[in-house]
Chain A
Amino acid sequence: MSTILRKKDLPYCKGCGHDLIAKNTAKALERMGLEALDVTVVTDIGCHGIIDGCLNTHTVHGLHGRSVALGAGIAMGTGRQGNKIIVFIGDGGSTIGLQHILEAARLNLDMTVVVHNNMLYGMTGGQTSGLTPCGFKTTTSSEGNPWSGYDLCALTHTSGAAFSGRIAGVGDISGTLQEAFETAGFSLIEIVEICPSYGVRLNPGKKLREIMESSGKLPGRWMNDRKPFVLEQGKKRGDLLKELKTITASHDMPPGGPVSVILSGSAGEGVQLAAGILATAAVSTGYHVTQKGSYPVTVGVGFSTAEVIISPRPVMYHGIDIPDMVVITSVDGLEHCRRRIEAMKGGSLFIDSSLECPPTGAGVVAHDFRSVGARNAALFALFRMAAVTGILQPEVIKSTALASGLPAAVPVGKMMELATG
């Protein structure tokens, strides 16, 4: 009496290799001395997947093609030593989920994938699969499949699987299954069968070994000497809130209402950094702030814009339509903000003097902000903005900038002198 199988008669067609695989799996596991609950069998969609109800093991029946990824999650999630994760999958599922198989092999997860390769989709009517050999007839290739099938073992072997093996589904295959199950790390065993309902009928007289030989998918074993992936369990990490610097309001806040500021330049030119310094300096002056970034999907080119609201009271809505102040340090930044600059009826525009100033109702301060280097232009303009408008003390911007971890080469003091002199 099997401890793994709860039924002697399995629900497969007469002559189906799935029956052979299930019984030899049980035989191998029992020979290894494993109890039923030492084993979790994850099944895919297909005829093989109806084995669940016949097993005394833990069973997990998932989606078509995804069982290897599902089993991988279990393998990574369970901390139980000696636990065996086995995935049953068909040839159809193994092509839908090919990425999952390669990933599990690459990571060398401690699990075994048993591919029931009957060379076609049996449950849905005998259609051609990605493992159907060239010349093999299916219900959707009556003249014979014109393409060769994937070599799963070659794929998993080159992806890093500890064990990849292929055998014909004939006779006692429990020894090779046991070899796969006993592998520390990822193992895949492809068992080639002929579906009695479609494969035998459409390919009369063809022998399994002949098909394997003519397709070049010969039996074999391929090893990689690798240690299995071991998950670090329960490692505690730092509190994300405690990483943040608490900012104390330690400077006098000038009178006035909320001010909206847009800084706009080119990606990689320190716009977001300057906006962060502005926001921190504002909070240390007692303001509430919001800082919104805008940029194209590219990281290193195009515009980079930051919208900062500085307010004596908490800010709920953080959008800016027409800003009170704008800093423009490059043509990218100018083009991105042109509409809003032209719509300004007051406020201040601080623009690099190399740029053509658009028509605007804002007071314009043109200055060679880029003279201190393109990466410093936005910060330099902040000093000028502070000096002209009085919303923040330049000294506060300076101390905030120096405390922000800027490279020593950034001429913070010089910029303040130039801007306020």
Chain B
Amino acid sequence: MQAKNDSQTVIIDGSRLVTEAMARAGADAFIGYPITPANLLYQYAGRRLPLMLPAPDEITTLQWMSGLAAAGRIPVTATSFPGFALMIESVNMAFMMELPMVIVLVQRLGPATGTATCGAQGDLALLRGMISGGHQVPVLCGDGFKDTWNLAAEAVHTAVRLRTPVVFLTSKEEMMTRKSFDLSLLDDIFPVERRSPGGAHYKTYDPGEDGIPAFLPVANASRQVRLNASTHDMEGILRHSTDEAMANTRRLEDKAGNHLDSYTRYQYDSQEDAATLVVSYGITAAAAREAVSGIRESGKKVSLLVAGTLLPLPGIYYRITGKYDRVVIAEENINAQFARLMFGEELPGRVRTVGAIGKMIAPGDITKEVLL
């Protein structure tokens, strides 16, 4: 097969694509602490982003990022579970202070240090429960290089638009495997725009009309900014549990959900009269696509839903899955984390799961369950 004349075929890994996409979307600082399998992102960021700082640990990483975000930067880091675990209190802080940033979480096999050089999809349940109070941060996840490119940029845009930390969830195989790819297939990415608050007096947590406070950098020369990780009022002053402070915390609960449509990304490939739907995300979506393709070639009908927005769960996923007699959810863990987030601990009989640890789920594993 000869390449098209206008094609730009290269061999590339996902880490390079994610770093470039985030830089183009407006990310301008990377704080790094080495951890396998996220190291390629650290290396690329050092060459690409205007500011790259090596932190002495992952708690410092998130705190420096928070300080940079408070000062008006758009910081990014990349880590894996052991590092992310150290970051969680500070992610709560950034969530409470409403500071935009992106954490690229490159999943590897756990528990604990597990196997650093083995991929996995085992951290979704952690992400769902990591904010005290049960609040949610947006979690996006790419499917293949083109989609990863777009969603990495969307992660930056969503972080700034919603004033929130965003997790871009990926895995070792997506970030380290090299593949041939035609760069001409990539969409343009535009840098995120920030809106400036008007008026002489600024309240850091005034919800405005859309529940998202306008952002002003701390340390500016004109208007006072008060950021607070403790329960606070609209000014950003610490309060116990006043009505205004509780309204602020409720707004935080509602923020990600109320604007969910703006960052809901999924791919739905439906086949008329199909009774079975395959659902997957991230690295396993590639196997799901191949399985669905093979099943269709054999003359059987099946549909496919690939989730890009993992948290909060978009309502459209329920409307789609509700159309099918059987739903086969494939993800690289052995406790059906996405399936249980969607359908609860006791899965309905029509929901089947395909899981694995220590290896990628193969298309044949999914095909077998679909045709069962």
Contact status B180-A283, CB under 8 Å = yes
**Would B229 and A61 count as touching, CB distance under 8 A?**
yes
User: Nearest chain-A residue to B362 (Cβ)?
Assistant: A319
Number of A-B residue pairs with CB-CB distance less than 8 Å in the complex they form:
238
A-contacting residues, B327-357, CB 8 Å? none
Find residues 197-222 in chain B having any chain A CB closer than 8 Å to their own CB. Answer: 217-222
Measured between C-beta atoms, what is the minimum distance from B47 to chain A in Å? 6
Contacting pair B287 A78 (CB below 8 A): no
Assess whether B10 is in contact with A246, with CB atoms less than 8 Å apart: yes
Task: Give which listed residue, B16, B63, B176, B359, contacts A69 with CB less than 8 A.
Answer: B63
Query: A42-83, CB under 8 A of B: which get 1 and which 0?
Result: 000000001011001111111100100111111111101001
- Whether, in the assembled complex, A370 has its beta carbon less than 8 Å from a beta carbon of chain B, the answer is no
**Cβ contacts under 8 Å, B56 to chain A:** 99, 103
Tell me the minimal C-beta distance from B75 to chain A in angstroms: 8
CB-CB under 8 A for A72 and B64, given A37-B220, A77-B73: yes
Contact indicator A76/B117 (Cβ below 8 Å): no
Among residues 200 to 226 in chain A, which have CB atoms less than 8 Å away from a CB atom of chain B?
none
The smallest C-beta distance from B139 to any residue of chain A, in angstroms, reads: 22
Pick from A118-126, A179-187, A294-302 the stretch touching chain B: A294-302
CB-defined interface of B1-21 with A at 8 Å, one 1/0 digit per residue?
Answer: 111000011111000100110
Q: How far is the CB of B239 from chain A (nearest CB, A)?
A: 9
User: Can you list, as one digit per residue, whether each of A270-296 has a CB less than 8 Å from chain B (1) or not (0)?
Assistant: 000000100110110011111111111
If A52-B226, A63-B229, A77-B67 touch, does A291 touch B360 (CB 8 Å cutoff)? no
A175: min CB distance to chain B, Å: 25
B67 touches A73 (CB 8 A): yes
Query: How would residues 232 to 272 of chain B score, 1 for a CB under 8 Å from any chain A CB and 0 otherwise?
Result: 10001110000000000000000000000000000000000
- The count of residues in chain A whose C-beta lies closer than 8 Å to any C-beta of chain B is 75
Give the shortest distance, in Å, between B362 (CB) and chain A (any CB). Answer: 6
**What's the Cα separation between A71 and B217 when bound, in Å?**
13
Q: Are B49's CB and A318's CB within 8 A?
A: no
**A85 CB-CB contact with B under 8 Å:** yes
Check B51 against A59 for contact (C-beta < 8 Å). Answer: no
Q: Inside 8 A of A37's CB, which chain B residues have their CB?
A: 220-224
Measured between beta carbons, the chain B residues less than 8 angstroms from A38 are 221
Q: A74–B63 contact, CB under 8 A?
A: no
Q: Does B321 contact A (CB under 8 A)?
A: no
B179 close to A58 (CB less than 8 A): no
Majority secondary structure, B binding face = mixed
In the assembled complex, A9 has its CB within 8 A of some CB on chain B: no
Among B3, B183, B223, find the residue whose CB has the most chain A CB atoms closer than 10 A.
B3
> Does A376 touch B at the CB level, under 8 Å?
no
Known contacts A37-B224, A296-B117: A66-B59 contact under CB 8 Å: yes
Chain A residues, Cβ within 8 Å of B60? 69, 99-100, 103
**B219 A85 Cβ-Cβ under 8 A:** yes
The answer to whether B3 and A249 touch across the interface, beta carbons within 8 angstroms, is yes
Which residues from chain A contact B223 at a C-beta distance below 8 Å? 37
Query: Which residues of B have CB within 8 Å of A237?
Result: 23, 47-50
Q: In whole angstroms, how far apart are the Cα atoms of A53 and B60 in the complex? A: 26
**Min CB distance, B22 to chain A, in Å?**
11
Query: Most chain-B Cβ atoms within 10 A of its Cβ — which of A78, A282, A317?
Result: A317
Which of A135-143, A164-172, A228-236, A412-420 contacts the other chain? A228-236
Given contacts A70-B66, A248-B9, A288-B180, whether A78 and B3 have CB atoms under 8 Å apart is no
**A245 CB-CB contact with B under 8 Å:** yes
| CB-CB under 8 A for A286 and B177, given A62-B63, A69-B64, A240-B48 | no
Q: Which residues of chain B are within 8 angstroms of A77 by Cβ–Cβ distance?
A: 29, 67-73
Q: When the two chains form their complex, are residues A317 and B290 in contact, meaning their CB atoms are under 8 A apart?
A: yes
Alpha-carbon gap, A198 to B93, bound state (A)? 30
Chain B residues 19 to 34 lying within 8 A of chain A, measured CB to CB, are 19-20, 23, 29
Closest to B53 in A: A76
Q: Is A132 close to B, CB under 8 A?
A: no
Is residue B44 within 8 Å, beta carbon to beta carbon, of the partner chain? yes
User: Does B326 touch A at the CB level, under 8 Å?
Assistant: no
Q: Find the B residue at minimum CB distance from A272.
A: B178
CA distance A80 to B97 in the complex (A): 22
Q: Pick the contact of A73: B11, B50, B68, B232 (CB < 8 A).
A: B68
Q: Which of A236, A238, A246 contacts B9 (CB 8 A)?
A: A246
With A240-B47, A286-B1, A291-B179 given, is the CB distance from A247 to B10 under 8 Å? yes
Q: Chain A residues near B220: list those with CB within 8 A.
A: 37, 58, 80
Contacts of A75 in B (CB 8 A): 67
Residue of B nearest to A83 (CB): B219
Cβ–Cβ contact A66 & B90, under 8 A: yes
Q: Provide the residues of chain A in CB contact with B186, threshold 8 Å.
A: 241
CB < 8 Å neighbour of A292 from B3, B173, B180, B287: B173
Residues of B close to A62: CB separation below 8 A: 63, 66, 93, 97, 229
Known: A290-B177, A293-B176. A78 touches B72 (CB 8 A): yes
List, in ascending order, chain B residues with CB within 8 A of A297's CB: 36, 115-117
B218/A74 in contact, CB under 8 A: yes
User: At the interface, yes or no: B282 with Cβ under 8 Å from chain A?
Assistant: no
CB contacts (< 8 Å) of B222 on chain A: these are 37
Q: How distant is the Cα of A78 from the Cα of B56 in the complex, in angstroms?
A: 21
User: Within the complex, which residue of A60, A235, A249 is in contact with B227, where a contact is CB–CB below 8 Å?
Assistant: A60
A283/B9 contact (C-beta < 8 A), A239-B20, A291-B179 known:
yes
Inside 8 A of B57's CB, which chain A residues have their CB?
Answer: 99
Least CB separation from A299: chain B residue: B36
Judge whether B362 and A289 touch: CB under 8 Å.
no
Q: Is A162 part of the binding interface, using a Cβ–Cβ cutoff of 8 Å?
A: no
Known: A56-B224, A74-B71, A316-B289. A236 touches B50 (CB 8 A): yes
Known: A37-B220, A240-B44. A74 touches B70 (CB 8 A): yes
| B-side contacts of A78, CB under 8 Å | 71-72, 217-219
> Which residues of the partner chain B approach A287 to less than 8 Å between Cβ atoms?
1, 180
> A residues within 8 A CB of B227?
59-61
Given contacts A240-B47, A247-B9, A319-B360, contact A292 B177 (CB under 8 A): yes
- A129: interface (CB < 8 Å): no
Q: Which one, A52, A66, A247, contacts B228 given CB within 8 A?
A: A52
Tell me whether A408 is interfacial, beta carbon within 8 Å.
no
* Residues of A close to B64: CB separation below 8 A: 69-70, 72-73, 76
**A365 proximal to B (CB < 8 A):** no
A127 vs chain B, min Cβ distance (A): 20
Q: Is the CB of B178 within 8 A of A279?
A: yes
Known: A61-B232, A241-B10. 9 other contacts (CB 8 A): A52-B237, A59-B236, A73-B63, A78-B217, A238-B48, A289-B179, A292-B177, A297-B115, A319-B359
What are 11 A-B pairs at a CB distance below 8 A? A50-B238, A56-B224, A60-B228, A66-B93, A80-B220, A100-B60, A235-B50, A244-B11, A286-B1, A289-B180, A294-B117
The 8 A-B residue pairs with the shortest CB-CB distance, nearest first, are A73-B67, A77-B71, A69-B63, A77-B68, A73-B64, A74-B67, A244-B10, A78-B71
